[in-house]
């Protein structure tokens, strides 16, 4: 069988002549052309080249100083004891307290849900820098130290004419609210307000029937929440929680409001001020935050894969829609 020649560029050929008796020829498909995409790639390549050129040739970056500053011992100590410990501590408080608040908020008891609402309202409305500055100054309220004992113990004992005030330990309020502990409490409480909303959304995403079925099996409300509802809610809770953790890493730079100076950003900027190399230390801070957040993103995707089991989400790369496949399709080489 011979194929009649076709004019180049025509989309398809139906017949070679007007006779109409021959069968249509083979389709000579030409892939849809995307000249705009190639222009976009060229523009982006140019911009990337300009950026690399800036990074490599501008002396203000002073790369050797950037890496030297990144690994100074005060910076490393600030990274671990301020930034990482601060993030871990405040997320621990935030997640635990946030879940409690979410359960309270969904409770049938109007007092409990009201309290949870007021807490969320307050801590969502106060900016973190402002909150931390207030935390640092809280010692003003307890000039005689923070007593641990029965509430209103002093008043109670006065009633009975006894001079004991039922306080069995007194802590220095400035010690508690002053340092990293105050920072962790402040950031943790603020985080709890956000986590409460995230956990609430997660709990609401679990079908009511799950709870009913658990109750039908004879589970108590608490047991059903722990064994049936929360594990399923995790699928919805985990991704935004990862987001919040990454945001928290960045927010530890606000600890200076307390003020806590044993923290990554403060230590790097103070090296900058001491050596008059202000810009390279900022680059060093950016690199550190990028490294920490990249590691956290990997952890987050693993957690998501774990809690999302059985919901039809395929791991990235399993389908043909990956970066490589899409690039190949642009040059028409995808088979």
Partner 1 sequence: MRRSKLIVSVLAVGLMALTGCGSDSLDTGEKKGGDVEATVDEEAAALVPQEIKDKGTLTVGTDASYAPNEFLAGDGKTIQGFDIDLFTAVAKKLDLEVEFANAKFDSIITGAQGGKYDVGVSSFTVNPERMEQVNMVSYFSAGTQWASAPGNPKDVDPERPCNATVAVQKGTVQEEEDLPAKIGACKKAGTPMRDPLVYTGQDQATAAVVSGKADAMLADSPVVAYAVEQSEDKLEALGDIYDAAPYGYVVPKDQTAMADALVAALKSLEEDGGYMKALEPWGVEDGAITDFAVNPEL
11 φψ region: left (φ > 0), alpha (ψ -120 to 50), beta (else): alpha
Query: Cβ of residue 236: shortest distance to partner 1, in angstroms?
Result: 20
Measured from the CB atom, the residue of 120 and 174 that comes closer to partner 1 is 174
Query: Cβ of residue 3: shortest distance to partner 1, in angstroms?
Result: 55
Q: Residues 245, 87: contact at Cβ < 8 Å? A: yes
Joined together, the tokens standing for residue 304 give: 């998501």
Q: Residue 267 and residue 77: Cα distance in Å, rounded?
A: 9
DSSP secondary structure string, 8-60? Answer: TT-S--S-SSTT--SPP------PPP-HHHHHHHHHHHHHHHHHHHHHHH-GG
Measured from the CB atom, the residue of 75 and 104 that comes closer to partner 1 is 75
Measured from the CB atom, the residue of 98 and 272 that comes closer to partner 1 is 272
Joined together, the tokens standing for residue 40 give: 């976009």
Query: Cβ of residue 290: shortest distance to partner 1, in angstroms?
Result: 15
Q: What is the DSSP letter of 282?
A: H
Which residues are near partner 1 by CB under 8 A?
Answer: 68-69, 71-80, 84, 136-137, 139-140, 143, 174, 178, 259, 261-262, 267, 269-276, 278-279, 295, 298-299, 302-303, 306
Measured from the CB atom, the residue of 167 and 261 that comes closer to partner 1 is 261
Rg for the chain (alpha carbons), in Å? 31
Measured from the CB atom, the residue of 244 and 263 that comes closer to partner 1 is 263
- Residues in the chain, overall count: 335
Measured from the CB atom, the residue of 112 and 138 that comes closer to partner 1 is 138
SS3 112: helix
Query: Cβ of residue 254: shortest distance to partner 1, in angstroms?
Result: 13
Query: In sequence order, what are the beta bridge partners of 147?
Result: 170
Query: Cβ of residue 318: shortest distance to partner 1, in angstroms?
Result: 16
SS3 169: strand
Query: Cβ of residue 24: shortest distance to partner 1, in angstroms?
Result: 55
Joined together, the tokens standing for residue 323 give: 């970066």
Backbone CA torsion sign across 7, 12, 18, 21: positive
Measured from the CB atom, the residue of 100 and 137 that comes closer to partner 1 is 137
Measured from the CB atom, the residue of 68 and 165 that comes closer to partner 1 is 68
HSE toward the beta carbon, residue 47, CA cutoff 13 A: 6
Joined together, the tokens standing for residue 289 give: 């935050």
Query: Cβ of residue 76: shortest distance to partner 1, in angstroms?
Result: 4
Phi, psi of 27 (to 5 degrees): -75, 125
Query: Cβ of residue 274: shortest distance to partner 1, in angstroms?
Result: 7
CA distances (Å), 92 to each of 95, 193, 249, in order?
A: 5, 13, 13
C-alpha angle 175-176-182 in degrees, rounded to nearest 5: 120
Query: Cβ of residue 148: shortest distance to partner 1, in angstroms?
Result: 19
Measured from the CB atom, the residue of 145 and 240 that comes closer to partner 1 is 145
């Amino acid at each position: 069988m011979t194929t009649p020649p076709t004019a180049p560029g025509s989309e398809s050929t139906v017949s070679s002549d007007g006779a109409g008796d021959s069968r249509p020829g083979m389709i000579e498909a030409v892939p849809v052309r995307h000249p705009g995409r190639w222009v976009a790639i060229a523009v982006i390549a140019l911009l990337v080249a300009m950026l690399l050129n800036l990074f490599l040739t501008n002396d203000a970056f002073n790369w050797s100083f950037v890496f030297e500053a990144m690994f100074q011992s005060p910076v490393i100590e600030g990274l671990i004891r301020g930034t990482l410990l601060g993030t871990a501590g405040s997320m621990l408080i935030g997640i635990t307290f946030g879940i409690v608040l979410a359960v309270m908020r969904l409770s049938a008891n109007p007092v409990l849900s009201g309290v949870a609402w007021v807490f969320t309202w307050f801590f969502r409305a106060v900016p973190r820098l402002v909150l931390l500055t207030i935390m640092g100054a809280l010692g003003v309220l307890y000039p005689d130290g923070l007593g641990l004992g029965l509430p209103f113990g002093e008043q109670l004992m006065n009633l009975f004419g006894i001079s004991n005030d039922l306080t069995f330990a007194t802590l220095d309020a400035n010690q508690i609210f002053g340092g990293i502990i105050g920072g962790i409490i402040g950031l943790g409480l603020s985080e709890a307000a956000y986590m409460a909303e995230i956990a609430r959304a997660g709990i609401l995403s679990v079908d009511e029937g799950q709870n009913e079925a658990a109750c039908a099996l004879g589970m108590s409300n608490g047991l059903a929440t722990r064994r049936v509802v929360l594990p399923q809610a995790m699928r919805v809770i985990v991704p935004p929680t990862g987001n919040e953790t990454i945001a928290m890493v960045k927010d530890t730079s606000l600890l200076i409001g307390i003020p806590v100076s044993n923290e990554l950003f403060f230590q790097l900027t103070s090296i900058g001020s001491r050596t008059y190399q202000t810009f390279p230390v900022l680059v060093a801070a950016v690199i550190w935050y990028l490294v920490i957040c990249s590691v956290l993103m990997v952890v987050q995707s693993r957690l998501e894969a774990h809690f999302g089991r059985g919901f039809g989400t395929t791991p990235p790369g399993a389908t043909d829609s990956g970066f490589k496949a899409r690039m190949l399709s642009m040059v028409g080489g995808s088979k």
